[in-house]
Structure 1
Amino acid sequence: MSPHSHTARLRGLLKRAAVHGAVLGLAVVGLAGVGRSATALTAEPTAVSTNQIGVAPAPMGWASWNTFASVIDYATIKAQADALVSSGMAAAGYKYVNIDEGWWLGTRDSSGNITVDTAKWPGGMKAVVDYIHSKGLKAGIYTDAGKNGCGYYYPTPSGTPAAPNTGMEGHNQQDLETFQNWGFDFLKIDWCGGDAEGLDQETTYKAIRDANTAATAVTGRSLVLSLCEWGTGNPWNWAAGTGAMWRTSTDIVYYPDNPTMASILANFDKSLHPAAQHTGYYNDPDMMTVGMNGLSAAQNRTHMGLWAISGAPLLAGNNLATMSSTTASILTNSEVVAIDQDPRGLQGVKVAEDSTGLQVYSKILSGTGKRAVLLLNRTSAAANITARWQDMGLTTASAAVRNVWSASNAGSFATSYTTSVPAGEGVLLTVSGTEASGTTYEDTTSATTPAFTGVTASAAGTKLIDITYANGGTADRKATLQVGGQYAQTLAFPPTGSATTYRTVSVLASLAKGSNTLTFGALGTAPDIDAVAVRAVSGTNGTAVVGTGSGRCLDFFKSTITNNSQAELWDCGGGQNQTFTYTSRSELVVYGNKCLDAYNSGTANGTKVVLWDCNGGTNQKWTFNSNGTVTNNVSGLCLDASGAATANGTLIDLWTCNGGSNQQWTRN
């Protein structure tokens, strides 16, 4: 071991001693000149493998909307709770029975407390909660962030009338105390009223979070919050720590109807925000439609595989009392559920698409060298798809492959694995290989929430960050993590047993090529952050597209994924919204599934350069020229910072090539 490594270890010990009260003040002062920078410890063992701690898993259960819409009552919910147990789903991990829209007609007593129809709900809502709890299950309820719920704006055929005042606005803490006193464990908060009123998503939901905390102080109970603003306010930037889960899209089915694979895939695509999903907080692509009319068994397996690889909440939406044994076996497959519920709590990411529609997704699992892999064929013909170990952060050494749905071992394969995937389906695998090396950075100060500077990446892209910490308390402690100028994420750190017992949680973060700064910030009593280990996920690597005249990056505002959002310039920060993959098909792909697009295949000066679903169009193909320009293949016009401006927020359009610095770009 080098003297440098000995010094780093000593500094780490001094930090721990200082934090935990040892009389080593002079030694710590002697190291004060080290500041808040990190020391790269390439000889140091990585901070993860044997010390991982499990985080809160994504919620599993059943919800009433997809099958029953607003036609629900005590008997309906009771029958589904019974079926959740008798079908084996409860034993497989499905615990929540969630009552959705339609339970309440917006009536309140003279004190403003919710009143319910006891003809539909004998004994009131507490009675149905008590029954659900008697089955060893947990109970969920529904409300809206605005004055009126979705049933007011979109009443369902044969459902409850369009009753006003079914939202919680103006009664936040009062309603939360009511739900808690009734015994509910989970609350879905919809956005129809908030949307109609033009409320701000982040402000509104954070106020509800605070009201939930205040209600808990009164009742002694708490609610898991599910935020359902449909991704309209880019919740992946701010929702972690506000809710346990947040919707990233609209519904797969709006009313009880036949789902389609197109709508399932669309919701899956919109849910892929890996930097936001970590430490017990989850992107939510909506309730599942497995077992509903219109889907084959193969499509149900693909649907389940999509949700599992993304680590999504598993909330079944089919009729449990009438489902087939095939549907039950799909929903309860232990290996698939284990992938979804993996204790590391991370989201899968796309790591390859060698040909359009032939995609490879990889999810990092707990342990060392463990991956779940989904080979997804979105084309109309069967095709071979190859998963390469290096793309998913493993070495090229032989790895063992298991086909999850067939429950069969495929064997050991060096470098990669190729198999045929039927049209429109997915093959779900687990891979056990060798973890690629990374770099560990250890805090050398006495700070519990330090900053790590000089965290280097050889290429822009998604990285695995393992965080070693101690939490001597009895509950999760929280801290923020900010990478450069990106949005700060709220992380939860479970108890480690003592203030001197160190464990590891993981996040996925977007880093820029070169040097990065990872800054932790305290939220209340902070955990003691000791070290971070950084590993590349090579298949996510891309480049920033940097304007020569501005020094700023091609960017999509607030990490929006909305089609037709115009590209802009912004300070380079390494975020997913600034990391592009230039494919062999001449596309500039961002977020893994969106393309840089010349709006409406325009050929005139001023044509907007926008975000759009990748579709293979010539207006989504770009040429990087030797003179530094980037031209669109439809028009031959140059990628242009509008008006030759250089400020943050400058919009990007197409313009006749003129040699200006606002039309010069480099890839970094």
Structure 2
Amino acid sequence: MSHPPARRRAGRVTAQVLAVGLGVMGLAALERQEPSAPLSAEPAAVSISQTGVTPPPMGWASWNSFASSIDHDVIKQQADALVSSGMADAGYKYVNLDDGWWQGDRDANGNIVVDENLFPGGMKAMADYIHSKGLKAGIYTDAGKQGCGYYYPTTRPAAPGTGMEGHYQQDLQTFQSWGFDYVKIDWCGGRVEGLDQETQYKQIAAANEAASAVTGRKLVLSFCEWGTGLPWNWATGYGDLWRTSGDVILWGQKPTTAMMLTNFDQGLQPAAQHTGSYNDPDMLMTGMSGLSAAQNRLHMGLWAISGAPLLAGNNLASMSTETRDILTNRDMIAIDQDPRGLQGVKVAEDTRNLQVYGKVLSGTGKRAVLLLNRTGSAASMTVRWADLGLTSATASVRNVWTGTDVGSVGTGYTTTVPANDAVLLTVSGTEASGTTVEDTTAAATPTFGNVTASTAGTKLVDITYANGGTTTRKATIQVNGQYTYVVAFPPTGSATTYRTVSALAHLAKGANTVRFAAVSGGTAPDIDAVRIQGIPGTDGAALVGSASGRCVDLDKNTNVNGAQAQLWDCSGGRNETFTQTSRGELVVYADKCLDAEKSGTTNGTKVIIWDCTGGTNQKWTVHSDGAVTNNLSGLCLDAANAATANGTKLILWTCGGQDNQKWTLK
């Protein structure tokens, strides 16, 4: 890692940096004891000593194989198998009870009453047994009054009252007192009642902290509102993981490759995932009836490159040796559990549906790569080192599933990938140069007003900080006008010891403002410097309106098919960064195309996003005069009614040469 010349300064170092921070409620009281580091002790450049962060959870969950048919014996059998199979030794530690454990009774004081015919000795006895095996215990509830088993009964009759609305702190305190370590909070009741996702889950997070103050324990919080409330915008620092999509498989369905690909795509929200906060594409189908070994490997590769939680859903007591070996592959697990805690991103798609994903790993010049062939024929695929943020110098390549070292390769690596399959690799190369910026103010959480990027796209941000306390500190990071995220800064050992944590952030081309801020009531880490490095395969451009000076934008980072494009203040966000492909597409979020709704060819046709299909209604021509025309209709991309305000919707209209139909890609 290269650094600019060290420079001594009287205060703190400032300049251009990307802000990151972590922290939210509750831990504030635990974090007040340690003063900030003396300013004179700060280093002159970004540390190369990386701090490992809490990895995504690994374990087993009951729903996919048993639905609501769970009791003490079923859970005991699966916990025993988790250990005897070697999965526990490979890192699978959680045994999570899903819906069905509780039939909905409460006593006069509102306390949960458990059917001891199903769970002799109650839930504390169940958690104690799981712990006796060296494992951790997870449990399930709903944010509303009713759980999912009430609205969608499977193997038992509908059970009313299985949600925890009105009992948030009481139930979380009960789970903690029983000894549980993890809780999944579903959204069936919340959805039916019309509750607001962000409001309810933040209340639950606060209740968890309040319960912890009483019990001395804390639950890992798994928010399960299926991505409907866009949790990647607000959940960091509140939940430890959050679902980004619907269930990967519904009870009784046959698992398919299409299911895993759908949830994989929806789970890629790279700016939200870092320092112990994780996007969750749902439990694993690996080992369930109907999937081949190749499909099982594909499934694990998709989740590993995502850095997703690995919660097996198969019947562990009857799984094959082949399934066990796939679930416990060391190289695959190391990619998923990498101490940097980042998510993979798509870095190339030269040919439609031949996609290359890269994940930045801990260390210098380390990457994981997934070559994903979504077509029906085997294909030759190449990963270029430059797309990953490496130099074109020779790099070492290892094939994860074959366990073989390919050797040293220059510029990139090419291999044949079977139809509807993937090749998972690790790569060790030479890190490309980055930009180190330092804080020159006295602020522990500085603002950097001129973080310059030569291209728009996703960047790797290494943040040098000191935390001399004994608990993780938090701060927020905001790039330009994008959403604010909470970043965690684990202890560094002393107030004068500096280390780094990493995040991915989306920058606009040119100058960017990055703000760090302390979390209310907490002690901020001492943020000193940031190293920013491009991941060139993610680069794109903003589409800026000539009349408005505003960018083509997707509201609130929504990624659902049919979302209409609009104008909004340019911020460099992923929802404003488009890749112009050789096929004539304008791609956002790596997998959604700008689209003429329903292949419309008349004035007023909405301009939306949709899964890229190769249709002519998703192809565009950018003209030298600034017009952008749809190839199907010949109509121009138009800001409706010549409006220029934030929120103005984009449509197709007869080209007239006016400024509301002129755009600049930059």
Relative to structure 1, the CA distance from residue 365 to residue 187 in structure 2 (aligned partners, 3 Å threshold; closer, same or farther) is: same
Shift in CA distance, 537/9, structure 1 to aligned 2, threshold 3 Å: farther
Given that 1:641 and 1:662 are in contact with CA atoms closer than 8 Å, whether structure 2 keeps it comes out as: yes
Find 2:87's aligned residue among 86, 89, 95. Answer: 89
Q: Which residue of 1 aligns with 2:242?
A: 246
Q: What one-letter code is carried by the residue in structure 1 that aligns with 2:162?
A: T
Q: What SS class does the counterpart of residue 176 from structure 2 fall into? A: helix
Q: Kindly provide the amino acid, as one letter, of the partner of residue 71 in structure 1.
A: S
Following superposition, the deviation at residue 163 of structure 1 comes to: 1.6
- The yes-or-no answer on 1:191 pairing with 2:187 is yes
Match of 2:227 in 1: 231
Residue 547 of structure 2 corresponds to 549
Q: Is the 8 A contact 2:38 2:496 kept in 1?
A: no
Work out the CA distance in 1 between the residues paired with 2:7 and 2:493: 28
Q: Is the 8 A contact 2:56 2:310 kept in 1?
A: yes
Note the C-alpha offset of 1:638: 0.5
Between Structure 1 and Structure 2, how many residues are aligned?
A: 642
Alignment partners' CA distance in 2, 1:20 and 1:574: 33
Cα deviation, residue 256, structure 1: 3.9
* Aligned twin of 1:300: 296
Greater mean alpha carbon deviation, residues 250-259 or residues 551-560: 250-259
Post-superposition offset of 1:517:
1.0
Q: Is the 8 A contact 1:595 1:612 kept in 2?
A: yes
The letter for the 1-side match of 2:349 is E
Give ranges in structure 1 of 5+ residues lacking alignment. 29-40
SS, match of residue 178 in structure 1 = helix
Q: Residue deviations 1:495-526, cap 9 Å, x none? A: 00001100000000000000011100001111
Structure 2: gaps of 5 or more residues: 16-34
Cα distance in 2 for partners of 1:162, 1:580 equals: 47
Out of 117, 120, 125, the residue aligned to residue 118 of structure 2 is 120
**Number of the residue aligned with 1:38:** none
> Offset at 1:334?
0.7
SS for the counterpart of 1:221 is coil
CA contact (8 A) 2:11 2:39 kept: no
Letter in structure 1 aligned against 2:232: W
Q: Give 1:257 shift.
A: 2.9
What is the CA-CA distance between 1:22 and the residue it aligns to? 7.3
1:575-590 → structure 2 map (5 Å cutoff) = 575-590=573-588
Asked if residue 377 in structure 1 is aligned to residue 373 in structure 2, the reply is: yes
Q: CA RMSD in A?
A: 1.6
Are 2:598 and 1:600 aligned? yes
CA distance in 2, matches of 1:20, 1:387: 43
SS at match of 2:334: helix
Q: Which amino acid aligns with 2:459?
A: K
Q: CA–CA distance in 1 between the matches of 2:413 and 2:36?
A: 48
Deviation of 1:13 after TM superposition, in Å, equals 7.7
Aligned partners of 1:8 and 1:444 also within 8 Å: no
TM-score, L = length of structure 2: 0.95
Aligned AA (2:398): R
For the 8 Å contact 1:463–1:537, the answer to whether it is kept is yes
**In the TM superposition, what is the alpha-carbon distance from 1:21 to its structure 2 partner?**
4.8
Name the SS of the counterpart of 1:51 in structure 2. Answer: coil
1:465 aligns with 2:461: yes
Work out the CA distance in 1 between the residues paired with 2:322 and 2:647: 52
Question: Does structure 1 retain, via aligned residues, the 8 Å contact 2:37–2:466?
Answer: no
Q: Is the 8 A contact 1:8 1:442 kept in 2?
A: no
Q: How many Å separate the matches in 2 of 1:646 and 1:12?
A: 41
Which residue is equivalent to 1:145?
Answer: 143
Is the CA contact (8 Å cut-off) linking 2:14 and 2:438 kept in structure 1?
Answer: no
Describe the SS at the equivalent of 2:106.
coil
Equivalent residue in structure 2 for 1:392, among 384, 388, 395: 388
Please point out which of 520, 537, 540 is paired with 1:539: 537
| Contact residue 456 and residue 507 of structure 2 kept, 8 A | yes
Q: CA deviation at 1:106?
A: 1.2
Q: Percent identity?
A: 69
1:625 matched residue in structure 2:
623
Q: Could you tell me whether the CA contact under 8 Å between 1:68 and 1:256 is conserved in 2?
A: no
- CA–CA distance in structure 2, aligned partners of residues 13 and 120 of structure 1: 61
Return the letter of the residue paired with 2:89. Answer: A
Q: Given the alignment of the two structures, is residue 204 of structure 1 paired with residue 200 of structure 2, yes or no?
A: yes
State the secondary structure of the residue aligned to 1:111. coil
Please give the alpha-carbon distance, in whole angstroms, between the structure 1 residues aligned to 2:333 and 2:377: 28
Q: Residues of 2 paired with 1:408 and 1:19: CA distance? A: 48
Distance 1:358 1:166 in 2: 45
- Partner-residue secondary structure (3-state), 2:101: coil
**Which residue does 1:311 correspond to in 2?**
307
Measure the CA separation in 2 of the matches of 1:186 and 1:105.
20
Conserved in 2, the CA contact under 8 Å of 1:69 and 1:256? no
Pick closer, same or farther for the CA change 1:234–1:394 going to 2, 3 Å. Answer: same
- Residues 83-129 of structure 1: CA distance to partner in whole angstroms, max 9, x if unpaired? 00000000000000000001111110000000111100100011110
Aligned letter for 1:205? Y
Q: Which residue of 2 aligns with 1:70?
A: 68
Shift of 1:14: 11
Looking at structure 1, the residues matched to 537 and 110 of structure 2 have their Cα atoms a distance apart, in angstroms, of 55
Q: Is 1:176–1:212's contact at 8 Å kept on the other side of the alignment?
A: yes
Residues 14 and 224 of structure 1: is their aligned pair in 2 closer, same or farther, counting only changes over 3 Å?
closer
Is residue 144 of structure 2 the alignment partner of residue 172 of structure 1? no
Match of 2:382, as an amino acid? T
CA contact (8 A) 2:390 2:432 kept: yes
**What's the counterpart of residue 269 of structure 1?**
265
| Structure 1: distance between partners of 2:82 and 2:634 | 59
1:484 equivalent in structure 2: 480
Query: Residue 406 of structure 2 corresponds to which residue in structure 1?
Result: 410
Equivalent residue for 1:616?
614
Whether contact under 8 Å (1:67, 1:256) holds in the other structure is no
Q: Do residues 221 (structure 1) and 217 (structure 2) align? A: yes
What is the SS of the residue equivalent to 2:318?
coil
CA drift of 1:20 comes to 3.6
Cα distance change of structure 1 residues 321 and 22 upon mapping to structure 2, 3 Å threshold? closer
CA offsets per residue over residues 161-219 of structure 1, 9 Å max, x none?
11211101000000001100010000000000111111111111000000000000011
Q: Specify the alignment match of 2:319 in structure 1.
A: 323
1:432 to 419, 422, 428: 428
Amino acid at match of 2:431: E
Aligned mates of 1:321, 1:154 — CA distance in 2: 27
What is the distance in 2 between the residues matched to 1:188 and 1:22? 42
Quote how far apart the aligned CAs of 1:252 are. 1.0
Please tell me the residue identity of whatever aligns with 1:99: L
Q: Which has the higher contact order (CA 8 A, sep 6+)?
A: 2
- Name which of 274, 279, 288 aligns with 2:275: 279
- Write the distance in 2 (CA, Å) between the matches of 1:562 and 1:180: 36
In structure 2, C-alpha distance between the alignment counterparts of 1:612 and 1:472, rounded to whole Å: 48
CA offset at residue 658 of structure 1? 1.0
Match of 2:158 among 159, 162, 179: 162
Q: Provide the residue aligned with 1:333 in structure 2.
A: 329
Partner of 1:570: 568
CA distance in 2, matches of 1:339, 1:180: 31
**Aligned equivalent of 1:37:** none
Q: Counterpart of 1:398 in structure 2: which amino acid?
A: T
Distance 1:149 1:550 in 2: 47
Q: Quick one: which amino acid aligns to residue 503 of structure 1?
A: R
Q: 1:173 to 1:387 in 2, by over 3 A?
A: same
Is the contact between residue 183 and residue 221 of structure 2 (CA under 8 Å) also seen in structure 1? yes
Instruction: Tell me the SS of whatever aligns to 1:162.
Output: coil
5 Å matches for 1:435-446? 435-446=431-442
Indicate conservation of the 8 Å contact 1:65/1:256, yes or no: no
SS in 2 for 1:275: helix
Q: How far apart, CA to CA, are the structure 1 residues paired with 2:6 and 2:627?
A: 49
Instruction: Give the counterpart letter for 1:130 in structure 2.
Output: D
User: What TM-score results when the alignment is normalised by the length of structure 1?
Assistant: 0.94
- Contact 1:60/1:313 (CA < 8 Å) preserved in 2? yes
